[in-house]
A and B are shown apart, each in its own frame.
Chain A
């Protein structure tokens, strides 16, 4: 089933998606927001540029974007998978509480802001390129991986990564020598155990984007977790 989005607003697109049982291709998408918001059991492919809050509150199924995506992809998503074959805008996976977001290219500012987890619900975000500033801001759970492959940016991550982080885990495929982390987090090199954990996250991703898993795993990774011995006392610094 194909939905030509050229003359449809987001409400019409979502109504069409709900009617489809099985795979659905949306063509000529241009900035319509909230696509597949709150839906489950969907299998959507998007050609064109989906608008903000793509797959917000997503509760299951798969969304594949053949190009770039805009801001707040997977806002508060609960389950399912969003695959972006390009770059992604700001605040991807905002307050995400489950599911997976796989990005082939770069992520904008604040990827994974306020990601959280509870019991078996552990969200995962993998960024193939680099991440902008404030990666994992206020992260309280879940896993964020930055692979730093083929990015147009010089650094794997921008300024102020993991600010306010108090849960979850961030993996950066870099030594992060020139990256300044806040004092309330611990950074260390990945151990064998970490690599095994990484392998389990990366298998599906490498499969999707035809990447060599072993080659990626062979690199240096930095792992960032909150430092429970140094809790937040004064959150906001003088600017």
Chain B
């Protein structure tokens, strides 16, 4: 054994490190929480880091996991050592190939960061439901429970697979292990080489398909032979556990770390035993140690190899005197007699040889579920299960960690059962994503892990919001390996990096007696006490805590770091905790700063180092008084006027206490009410736009571009101003359609994210001082009181009716009520203005099918929902099926809507007499292409329903149920470029090929935004993205031109920042086209690497440089013999370089390789020139007029 080398890293990197070094081909597709494994491998390959044989692995990103699996399958068949990484739905997409790969007895290891499968809801978090869906594939399934194990098992699985020819699915818990940072012992290359047999690689190569030794594999077999052939591989499975066991032993010789197929831990004579897999086993082991030290006879079995299930090893591992076993599954199989591990344990024991078979007369084996979707699994829960096992008849099919007050499955436990050892230092930090708290804490763990003898662990809880995201960091360190795979319940140190959090989170609940509290506050040490809410004062006194305060924003500003307070808070943490001697701590922090920021420039490093030096002088201890000095309590999370559900469920979730909600609180099918973001007043902006009406030209552009619907325009009867609050501002409207009406631009002060996009697009300037516009960013704190009252009044003002708006253009559209508000999208998001517009134009009759991605997260990630309803209770009906099937999902909406409309029409005709022929004729004859017709149809349907209620006829009831479908519904299919260009393209293409009235809105950010900026086929030439680090070398796919190959699809390419009216026009034309429509909407994104406040200007440059030509392709014109394409942007007048030089994604390439950038820029210029020329010719094309065309609007099916 060589010298031990310790590294501090997370589970994903630990696994990727081995996989990269032991493979030749890596085919992946990004999916949370597995994406970082592929990204690491890609980055290492880009840096030229080879595998242990000196070859740089070929890392390819495919269009889906199905594509990745197919590539893996082919690469394996052709003889390369191949791997992949995935999770959840991605793993499901791989299943067909997994069967094939296993059926062909192929050595292969697939690494899975296990994640919940979407059922009633999507979840990105961890459980074993994905892996369990693969247990019939023929893969061996090996589970690791910690970062060290994940590192080690990544190698051992590879070895065992080569030895056994059984492909291995190596999994570990998503987030809990994949994202947990631990100090581990690194596997050096010599260990990897010693473990992997060259003979087995030779055999793998010899099985390869090659024309030099041709064979056929993958034949179709018939009833006469398939069955026997399927059984022919049995002995490989029988031998697999033994091969794995041998690999474990060899590994032990090389590293000293010992593993087994199953591992028993606890009292050798234990009577009560838990059986489980994964990270929960670490917590169970820690608890068992504690309970045994108290004299309890308990034990646990950690199952490492789940398939082939090692029944002999399991039976041998079980203590002889056991009489109670609880088998814990981190998955749910509704309708089964028990979850998979439970069923296998039962079977294993029943099949055990007589000498190992337990005495079933005395033995009770129960199964239970825990930890779904990363639900916490704590020592208290483990203890609770052991207590349940003490009963004569422990509960069968129990749950732990929730309160099931519906079917009473849950076990109770004492939440105060706390076993965190004293020698472990436990710190919790509450921060904002944007303040850098997590990054600093990751550095802190590495410093502690690498500069002290301590073991260290870091785990980070992220928000579901992208704007103003809250992060909670959990750091532990101590002299022994840390097995606490649960959040810190009893912290020695609590850091609050945002003063406003004191009014939101009861963070000191987590503080231990005598703990230290560090607060970032804009107050001096002698004035801070009185600024604390009562609850905080009480806790500080009651728990006898030490209290420190620092004005981190002041220090960061002084150091030139703006709002980045991470370095300040990190320095204070090291100073207070004295983990390292003061001087050394500062030096190590500075080293970490140089490592983190060195490549981003000396100035950034210098400023951060300055912040280190300034921090200590600004850190002050506050003497905690003996008594509280305030009666001001934390404000309620949700106001009293909120609906009951919002108060009793949403509000609890918002307060960070969702774990306490019982089963009965939830709808059983995932249905959720709309419009709950409005109750969540997040107050995340430091500055908000304030209207200067004297300057305003009433263009409504600010309202149009706002990504969060936090600034709105309204026209209303000036008489209503009599009730207005004092500070409410108003103008007389200038337009003809609302002549004499009052006009107001109003900010939602507590919902604005402060992105400044509205101010940047405002075209009106103060003539005396053009630095000021008609809206200007001003202090939120100074304006929130007045503007809150103004906004409440603004909401009470009636919304104008659609038909009153004479011109439904960019300006007019902003008088329509948005039915999408205050989403959790990033500040400056380029997607959400399109969605808001969609809801304004068609929201009250809109069905949305939303592909998984950013738009499904900010559109439907709890706790709150941004889609909302109008006064009549109508609004968008929204759902997300999957990433890959969204076009088809939306098509299904259309089919269902159309059928129900047909049913309604048929019943109308059938019931014409009793209903009244005039009403029926009116309903059947109404033209609903314009807003007036839709309004009339609604009115007639209301009349119809009244009539139907008086009819005693079963058919009348049936008609009543579907009568609303007589009002035209608008079906929109939303998603990003990852969906439309890549994973869902087959469906997109197919749905476009059909004559159905669906509208596809592709919000093109040109990368996979939600998973962190991986390239898609929409990534433009010259841009750097993950998996295109050197800059994409070929042009993006032209989705619009592909769709033009059909002649019945309405297609528009839009960019609201370039031409607002063209965007609105395209949406309206698409909706009015009774066939398929495709809108490709340019959507600036944080992944482009510039301040999105300037995104509208950048969109304008995109259009004017030809990077993003604007056009509309209308098939209606084809029928009239006209050129179908209208170019809405002029011939490029700016060079493409003007666009590219503004974004880091391009600048990065320029910086890394100027010569390549120059080449790519020239290529990009050529491409945009040619693209524009092509479009220009298409716009001027002469076509013969088709006099015999059936219908000019192409809706033959209508």
Q: Do A and B bind each other?
A: no
- Chain B contact residues, CB within 8 Å of chain A: none
Task: Tell me the A residues contacting B by CB distance below 8 Å.
Answer: none
